Amino acid sequence: MTEKDFIPKPYTHTLETGSVTWESPSNIALVKYWGKKKNQIPENPSLSFTLNKCKTITTLSFTKKLKEDHTFSFDIYLDGEKKADFKPKIQTFFERIEIYLPFLKKYVFKIETENTFPHSSGIASSASGMSALALCLMSIEKQLLDADVSHKEDEGPFTQKYFNQKASFLARLGSGSACRSIEGALIAWGKTEGIEGSTDLFGIKYPYQVHENFKNYQDTILLVDKGEKQVSSTVGHNLMYNHPYALNRFQQAHQNLETLKEILGSGDLDAFNALVESEALTLHAMMMTSMPYFILMKPNTLEIINRIWNFRQKTGLPVSFTLDAGANVHVLYPHNESQKILQFIKSELVVYCQNGHYICDQIGLGANQTQ
């Protein structure tokens, strides 16, 4: 497939007004995406767990303009409050996707959004937020084409598969990692030899058998620092240009995906823990070795990591951590060990969280339309 496949045929129906609602989850990468080319094309492939509870719920209301005025007309509300500061990001998003959704300038939109996780939790809402908005826009396009989304994957002109692919494609143009939030439970994004069907254009469902050990895998998110990130991921990605270790890193991500594929099939939790922790620390090592360099981990991030290592060594229990572009720690463990590991988290790790805040989440199945 190419970008051109996402340019729609002329719309066959008109719509005056309406609204759609989607809830879309966040995701956590096991193999990290860090570094991008033009148009949000990733420098390396990534693989993520879709989350279940950490979601954005977005309602998109639309009214047809009486006269087309060649501008994007929209307002954004977060928790009922108008957010003018969110507008530039959405304006850029609309500019990037207009060619794929030619109805955008014909309507006035109201975007109402809320997150299930606390607003300033340090959890990036861009993946869940951009995917929820992309899905809402796809639901409108579907009505304009009067397309019956066939639930049989490969039938009809506008299949469920195409709907998801285009939603992921659009979400990617809003925020790269957002393309991995449409479906679950494991999503691969970025062309790599070892994963059949993988592409830079959108996320695909991981196409191979996954061992029982990874069913309902748990992710307890320890909120170490709820403040704004000092360095945005856009800036971070850009620092991978001319980075001294970039080429090796991009190559390593392909190899790590190959290794992870074996691990996901065999259920080898020791190998899983080693791989995801190495990926997390490599991501942060890239940040520390870029120019300018920066550190997003906080002292409590390191405290938590050390305590996880000690606990794992002492008990032999399969618990590990991963990090995204911030100080918060995602503690990963299998469902059947939840009791002992959650007990450890509560008694030893929560003290390092800001205001004792943490979120118990687990692997999820993707986004849902609720209206």
Residues that bind ligand PMV (CB under 6 A): 29, 32-34, 46, 124, 126, 175-177, 233, 237, 283, 324-325
Smallest distance from the beta carbon of 13 to ligand PMV, in angstroms? 33
The smaller minimum CB distance to ligand PMV, of residues 33 and 333, is found at: 33
| CA pair distance 121, 272, nearest whole angstrom | 27
Beta-bridge mates of residue 61: 19, 110
Six-digit token string for 10? 């002329």
| CA pair distance 152, 349, nearest whole angstrom | 46
Smallest distance from the beta carbon of 353 to ligand PMV, in angstroms? 20
The smaller minimum CB distance to ligand PMV, of residues 124 and 136, is found at: 124
Smallest distance from the beta carbon of 229 to ligand PMV, in angstroms? 10
Angle at the Cα of 266 (from 262 to 267), degrees rounded to 5?
115
Smallest distance from the beta carbon of 36 to ligand PMV, in angstroms? 7
Smallest distance from the beta carbon of 7 to ligand PMV, in angstroms? 24
Query: Considering only CA atoms, which of 165, 144, 133, 145 is closest in space to residue 18?
Result: 144
Centroid of chain to Cα 192: 19
Q: Amino acid identity of 29?
A: A
The smaller minimum CB distance to ligand PMV, of residues 144 and 246, is found at: 246
Angle between helices 126-144 and 87-97 (to 10 degrees): 50
| CA pair distance 220, 58, nearest whole angstrom | 24
Smallest distance from the beta carbon of 140 to ligand PMV, in angstroms? 24
Q: Please state whether beta strands 73-78 and 107-115 pair in parallel, antiparallel, or not at all (unpaired).
A: parallel
The smaller minimum CB distance to ligand PMV, of residues 173 and 269, is found at: 173
Smallest distance from the beta carbon of 126 to ligand PMV, in angstroms? 5
Smallest distance from the beta carbon of 34 to ligand PMV, in angstroms? 6
| CB distance 126 to 177 below 8 Å | yes
Per-residue CA distances from 78 to 128, 136, 303 (Å) = 14, 16, 34
The smaller minimum CB distance to ligand PMV, of residues 33 and 62, is found at: 33
Query: Considering only CA atoms, which of 231, 219, 180 is closest in space to residue 42?
Result: 180
Angle at the Cα of 352 (from 351 to 356), degrees rounded to 5?
55
| CB distance 16 to 140 below 8 Å | no
The smaller minimum CB distance to ligand PMV, of residues 33 and 109, is found at: 33
DSSP-assigned states of every residue in 172-225 = HHH-GGGGGSSB-SEEEES--TTSTT--SSS-EE--S---GGGTT-EEEEE-S-
Smallest distance from the beta carbon of 55 to ligand PMV, in angstroms? 16
The smaller minimum CB distance to ligand PMV, of residues 81 and 85, is found at: 85
